[in-house]
Amino acid sequence: MFSPRSVAVVGASDNPQKVGAIILKNIIVSGFVGNIYPINPRINNIGSMKFYADLNGLPEVPDLVIVAIPAEKVLTVVEEAGIKGVKNMVIISSGFREIAEGVEREKMLTDLADKYAINILGPNCLGFANNVKPINATFGQVVTRSGNLRIATQSGALASSLFDWCGTNELGFDQLVTLGNKTVINENDILEYWLRHPVVAGGNDEGLSGVMPIGLYLESIVEGNKFLELTKKISINNPVFVLKPGKSQGAVEAMRSHTGSMAGEDEVMEQAFIEAGVMRCENLGDFLDLAKGFSWENVPLGPRVAVISNAGGMAVLSADAIEKEKLELSKLSEEAKTKLKSLLPRINNLLNPVDVLGDALADSFGAAMEVVLSETEVDSMLVILTPQLMTQIEKTAEIIGEMSRKYTKPIFVSFVGGGVTSKGEKVLNSLKIPNFDFPERAIRVMGAMHRWQKSRGAISYEDKVYLSEAGLDEGSIRSIVVEGRSSGGVDNMLANQLMEKLGIMVPMSKVVSDINEAEEFAVRVGRPVVLKMSSPNLLHKSDVGGVITEIYDQEQLRRAWGELGKKMEKLNDLTGIKVQVQKEVLGGVEAIVGVKRDSTFGKVMLFGAGGRLAEMLEDKNISLLPMGIEGAKKLVARSKIWPLFNGYRGNEKYNLEKLYELMVKLEALMTKFEEISEIEINPVKITGSGVWAIDAKVLLK
Amino acid sequence: MFSPRSVAVVGASDNPQKVGAIILKNIIVSGFVGNIYPINPRINNIGSMKFYADLNGLPEVPDLVIVAIPAEKVLTVVEEAGIKGVKNMVIISSGFREIAEGVEREKMLTDLADKYAINILGPNCLGFANNVKPINATFGQVVTRSGNLRIATQSGALASSLFDWCGTNELGFDQLVTLGNKTVINENDILEYWLRHPVVAGGNDEGLSGVMPIGLYLESIVEGNKFLELTKKISINNPVFVLKPGKSQGAVEAMRSHTGSMAGEDEVMEQAFIEAGVMRCENLGDFLDLAKGFSWENVPLGPRVAVISNAGGMAVLSADAIEKEKLELSKLSEEAKTKLKSLLPRINNLLNPVDVLGDALADSFGAAMEVVLSETEVDSMLVILTPQLMTQIEKTAEIIGEMSRKYTKPIFVSFVGGGVTSKGEKVLNSLKIPNFDFPERAIRVMGAMHRWQKSRGAISYEDKVYLSEAGLDEGSIRSIVVEGRSSGGVDNMLANQLMEKLGIMVPMSKVVSDINEAEEFAVRVGRPVVLKMSSPNLLHKSDVGGVITEIYDQEQLRRAWGELGKKMEKLNDLTGIKVQVQKEVLGGVEAIVGVKRDSTFGKVMLFGAGGRLAEMLEDKNISLLPMGIEGAKKLVARSKIWPLFNGYRGNEKYNLEKLYELMVKLEALMTKFEEISEIEINPVKITGSGVWAIDAKVLLK
């Protein structure tokens, strides 16, 4: 598909405004060296270029067929292509799943692709471009400069802006693929293809970095686990950065309307990216900045940054940004300071940032850079230039280029202004030295590149296996699930039974029908007790005030009983709500433990602060499953409440073995019992003596 | 100073590279209409322009003298100017406080300014420019386009980049002042001057917004309370936004070296900005973006944003950014949807963001804008354009301009690309419609403008008075302070006495010299008890494990005693460390309450989570003083632990009167006792029954 020897364009046209005509022209001018077959039954030829009436009439089976005709006619062409034996198609046409009327049409398209075993890119896409074996099979104005950058995007319009931006910045690329509706070919196919073709352009010889950066714009991810497996393999050698909207409800709705994408939970996605070493960009600006940084500069091997600036204020601002990105300012050696002082006698700032002063000429920049780049304590450099009247903008850019050739340490630049400084930018672009509008944007890129460098070593590639020795009492659990199903859901008492089967303690509790029964129970088990509503339909009982704690005496119990009764009257649906009285577990740390099934990445586990801490702490930590006992330990250690377990201020450390055991059992449970869609234990109370499930919810499919 | 009728330039030169020559030329070409006196003893005249040997020889006393000569010669000129009767000077020369050798020179300069009552701008600055009564008294390439923007900056280099950026963006300004070392004239003087001259340029007639935005780059603030008073007064009508480095230690050190600035605590600064309605920019990009947004567009009157885009992906990304800025996507009415459908038949996305599709021509943008701008549920609009082959970039910009003239609702634009889109940008700039590289940058500006609109109404202008009726037992407190002074500091026991005088409960405690004494005390007051180190020199005893809690029996006490002893042996300085045993207060919420003196803003109060919650919550809330009882209530309500007091999950509300009373008394204490530099009570334990000072530290000056 991406390196065809022959290509047919269905919908090629003599009207230069038509998409088909533009694609045909783009293929020709992009330097494609194979056979081109324009197809349009109304045209015989344009100049010396022969047109064909249909695919059937072609003298060979083309490696690739591009379709740019109205949606209604697409299926006929695909059928025709299938019969002809075509194996690769790009369908540019829109009018499929992204509109209500096109859903059925897209289904039929998929069926045809299956029937004839055709690779289809699109529909509803802009096509693709390959600068290595040149072909521009898009209707966009593609940059033909080759480079090491690879882009796959689910938005064609984003590609148009990217082309424009790459043109201005003189940033070349290797391949760019727009995915459209992803009916047949999706991001995983592209990633797999790129994984198998690791080195095409680049290398340091041409001023490019040694890596092949991959940028992805995705609205949804097809088969999360496949994506994870592929990006992990890629990330060890090449950076993957992604722009993935969907943090807000507004974006989720807009995506559904845009490409018909239904995304999984954003927090799960975020965690998946972390586990795979994939960088998530906050916005389009960051995405483009990373593309430039990774394409042109070596990755900083450590966090220590040296700054050279002809503007004190900018240097000061950059120091804040460096700390924000968890980078550090390098400490200069005494030797370097002495050298700087002798080379630049008027310099007074011998700290880093190095202020070469406002009137610094190009050679002052060069001299300072040379001294600082030779320091062993420097991992990367940022050069900041503001346009003073005497500033030699282009010459400084050239000197930066010299330094970049001489030293392997990565150099990032910010020429700040945008007017007179743009001449310097042009020089920097031609030398493939990444320049950014503002120092803080350069620093964000430096931070991301350094984080990637650190994370790529930490990616876990081992195949994690589900622990069969988790020791589930499967028989008993099965009968609990069956009972839950038959009674319309798992209520509190049934959930408690399940907890006990998982080996976690549950405070004694009882469903009671009147206050005397409650009082009797409290006396029997000892106070304090908790009074709470119990129903499989009432998921957030705390929010409706359905839990009253710290009941120490008869009077308090009476008050609580009355209060709970009043609250229950206010609820719309009282069906099946019961009152439960429970012995209260005092002390300890409240956590939440949960497992559920994400539509993209499958089973995930949640751990964080629970109970009253939860609202204040925003402590939601997710791990994809399987994770095993080691994964459980790591997940708990990521939590903000970890310090409370881990010898807080001289207190004893908690023994968390029981907690880890619970988590592993929950993992096994979700694997063995597909009927269970979600379990949430909130709070889990972890005390010196054990782990208690204070309140557990179990949802069945 | 800023509107002189005559100006002398000391250091004017016939060498066009010299700063003095550049300034002279800048004044002439800027359209200055008064007398100009170049001063240089070596030159008689250049062309028809007569030069003078010194100030003394001038035919009049010039309104303004600009000095651009080596630092060593500056003082002589200032003395001469003083004798001549000059009242306003700009000193460009560097070589003062910002270098070690110049500290004394700057002191002498201040003395001369005092002696002759001279206003001095600088030294070590770039000068100033006034586009209203035109004069460019800088050595930079100043934008002469007038506008409504006012800038004061402590960095001259930043001004150079700003000029360049303003030139490219066609953004005009009213006045720009570079402050340099702020020896005489500082930011407060400039703010006061601008407060008194509220309207100069602008108004909507010229396409400008109705406000006079003020942008500040400051490394330090002189007289915080004056700054606060002025910015509060300005903020009610005109937005003030500030770029203030200093969040990191690196920046603090770099500032000291750059302009010799010593900043107060950053968190106090941050709170001061909030109280004054001043927007703090995160970085230079935001600063410039706000300058453009506030200069050209009306402030959105509400949070509801409509988005029109020819790119679905960009629209989706913008939805996330809108939520991040706490703005909302407007809901479109059914009527609007019907209209959109009839005007743009192929449209399928009838949500907001409105996707006019990739092939939208300018009139489609216009039609969609018109429908949406007429909606009452829309407060502002964002238009996103990506450059497709058929996109009419300039024509779309013109149509946006038409819409902007027709509707008062603010319109923000993002033409994304930077290559072919730059033609459209030029049109937008000429129409004074703010365009931004990326949609998310536009949305950040929209968010900041909306927040300002909300905050300006909430600024408290009333003069808060110190509550003399706080009811301090001044006599007893005085003797505690005196005893602390004489014994080298206030130890735990003395601090506890102070707490009791402030009406807050202190758990019974005793300094003990052996374990038997400790055991005896524990038995007498009842267990559990706490064992802790006590010394005025040991400020963070928890960090060294100097506090052991929950001692329930003799065995635990023995263990704790041994442990504490071992830890004390490890400390470097044992002088004065004692062991204290204290009855433990169980339950309740742990908070921190503190007061201290900030070098910029004076007395401030701190409230937040204390004890074990503190590390996890990062809950440090600051209020400037005076604040009174209402201020105390607001401060506590801002804390993350507020929900714990305020009827958490059906629990009873805490009575916090005692807490507020404590805070008001601490405020009074700091006002009456200048000797006290800082008090920190951590934790304060707030229980159902009262407020306890578990551990108090008191520092004397």
Identify the band that residue B578 occupies on the pLDDT scale cut at 50, 70 and 90.
confident
Which of A99, A124, A161 to mutate to probe the B interface, most B CBs <10 Å? Answer: A161
Distance CA A91, CA A70 (A): 10
Q: List the structure tokens of A262.
A: 């239904």
DSSP per-residue codes, A57-122? G-SS--SEEEE-S-HHHHHHHHHHHHHHT--EEEE----STTSGGGHHHHHHHHHHHHHHT-EEE-
A615 chain-B contacts, CB cut-off 8 A: 643
Q: Note whether A46 and A15 are within 8 A (CB).
A: no
CB A285 to CB B441 under 8 A? yes
DSSP per-residue codes, B419-450? STTHHHHHHHHHTT--B-SSHHHHHHHHHHHH
DSSP A55: G
From the CB of residue B524, how many other CB atoms can be counted at a distance below 10 Å?
Answer: 10
User: What are the pLDDT digits (tens) for A296-315?
Assistant: 999 999 999 999 999 988 99
CB B319 to CB A169 under 8 A? no
Residue B204 has pLDDT above 50, yes or no: no
Q: Are strands A6-10 and A64-67 parallel, antiparallel or unpaired?
A: parallel
B386 chain-A contacts, CB cut-off 8 A: 157-158, 160-161
Q: Are strands B45-46 and B547-551 parallel, antiparallel or unpaired?
A: unpaired
B355 chain-A contacts, CB cut-off 8 A: 257-258
**Do B1-124 and B300-456 have matching folds?**
yes
B251 chain-A contacts, CB cut-off 8 A: 316-317, 319-320, 323
User: What are the pLDDT digits (tens) for A275-299?
Assistant: 999 999 999 999 999 999 999 999 9
Q: Where are the domains of chain A?
A: 1-125, 143-251+266-296, 301-455
What is each CA distance from A8 to A5, A52, A78, B221, in whole angstroms? 11, 9, 13, 69
Beta-ladder partners of B45:
B50
B141 chain-A contacts, CB cut-off 8 A: 387, 389, 420
Q: What percent of chain A has pLDDT over 70?
A: 93
Local structure of A321: helix, strand or coil = helix
State chain B's mean pLDDT as an integer: 90
CB B316 to CB A255 under 8 A? yes
CB B389 to CB A316 under 8 A? no
CB B165 to CB A542 under 8 A? no
Identify the band that residue A460 occupies on the pLDDT scale cut at 50, 70 and 90.
confident
B255 chain-A contacts, CB cut-off 8 A: 316
Q: Note whether B270 and B280 are within 8 A (CB).
A: yes
What is each CA distance from B341 to B115, B331, B335, B337, in whole angstroms? 76, 16, 10, 6
Residue B382 CB-half CA count within 13 A = 39
C-alpha angle A268-A274-A278 in degrees, rounded to nearest 5:
110
C-alpha angle A126-B440-B149 in degrees, rounded to nearest 5:
130
User: What are the pLDDT digits (tens) for A228-248?
Assistant: 999 999 999 999 999 999 888
User: What are the pLDDT digits (tens) for B44-88?
Assistant: 999 999 999 999 999 999 999 999 999 999 999 999 999 999 999
Distance CA A214, CA A203 (A): 15
Name the class of domain A301-455.
alpha beta
CATH topology of domain B1-124: Rossmann fold (3.40.50)
Q: What percent of chain B has pLDDT over 90?
A: 66
CATH pick for B300-456 out of 3.40.50.261, 3.40.50.40, 3.30.70.20, 3.40.50.720? 3.40.50.261
What is each CA distance from A699 to A538, A610, A669, A678, B338, in whole angstroms? 11, 19, 13, 5, 42
Name the class of domain A143-251+266-296.
alpha beta
By Cβ distance, the residue of B17, B160, B351 closest to A253 is B351
| A–B interface: beta-carbon pairs under 8 A | 309
CB B651 to CB A549 under 8 A? yes
Radius of gyration of chain A (CA): 32
CATH topology of domain B143-296: Rossmann fold (3.40.50)
Local structure of B117: helix, strand or coil = coil
Q: Note whether B16 and B23 are within 8 A (CB).
A: no
Distance CA A132, CA A111 (A): 33
User: What are the pLDDT digits (tens) for B263-318?
Assistant: 568 899 999 999 999 999 999 999 999 999 999 999 999 999 999 999 988 998 99
Nearest Cα residue in chain A from B284: A438
pLDDT reported for residue B286: 96
B254 chain-A contacts, CB cut-off 8 A: 312, 315-316, 319, 349, 351, 353
B358 chain-A contacts, CB cut-off 8 A: 156-157, 160
Which of B317, B348, B390, B590 to mutate to probe the A interface, most A CBs <10 Å? Answer: B317
B418 chain-A contacts, CB cut-off 8 A: 164-165, 168-169
Nearest Cα to B195, choosing from B152, B136, B248, B244? B152
Smallest CA–CA distance, residue A674 to chain B, in Å, is 34
Q: List the structure tokens of B700.
A: 């004397």
Q: What is the pTM of this model?
A: 0.91
User: What are the pLDDT digits (tens) for A632-670?
Assistant: 999 999 999 988 887 655 556 778 999 999 999 999 999
User: What are the pLDDT digits (tens) for A462-509?
Assistant: 666 555 556 788 899 999 999 999 988 888 889 999 999 998 999 998
Phi/psi for B579 (5° steps) reads -110, 135
CB B437 to CB A285 under 8 A? yes
By Cβ distance, the residue of B160, B314, B643 closest to A157 is B314
Smallest CA–CA distance, residue B669 to chain A, in Å, is 31
Q: What percent of chain A has pLDDT over 90?
A: 66
User: What are the pLDDT digits (tens) for B487-520?
Assistant: 888 888 899 999 999 989 999 988 898 999 999 9
Smallest CA–CA distance, residue B125 to chain A, in Å, is 11
By Cβ distance, the residue of B22, B161, B167 closest to A386 is B161
Pairwise pLDDT comparison (B224 vs B460), residue with the higher score: B224
A387 chain-B contacts, CB cut-off 8 A: 141, 160-161, 164
Name the class of domain A1-125.
alpha beta
Nearest Cα to B670, choosing from B620, B618, B606, B580? B606
Average pLDDT over residues A169-179: 94
Local structure of B85: helix, strand or coil = coil
Q: Note whether B329 and B405 are within 8 A (CB).
A: no
DSSP A584: P
Smallest CA–CA distance, residue B264 to chain A, in Å, is 16
Smallest CA–CA distance, residue B167 to chain A, in Å, is 7
Residue A202 has pLDDT above 60, yes or no: no
By Cβ distance, the residue of A22, A161, A283 closest to B389 is A22
From the CB of residue A681, how many other CB atoms can be counted at a distance below 10 Å?
Answer: 28
Beta-ladder partners of B511:
B580
State chain A's mean pLDDT as an integer: 90
By Cβ distance, the residue of A157, A314, A319 closest to B312 is A157
Smallest CA–CA distance, residue A97 to chain B, in Å, is 12
CB A255 to CB B386 under 8 A? no
Beta-ladder partners of A435:
A413
pLDDT reported for residue A539: 58
B219 chain-A contacts, CB cut-off 8 A: 313, 316
Q: List the structure tokens of B308.
A: 């029109």
B316 chain-A contacts, CB cut-off 8 A: 155, 219, 245-246, 251, 254-255, 258
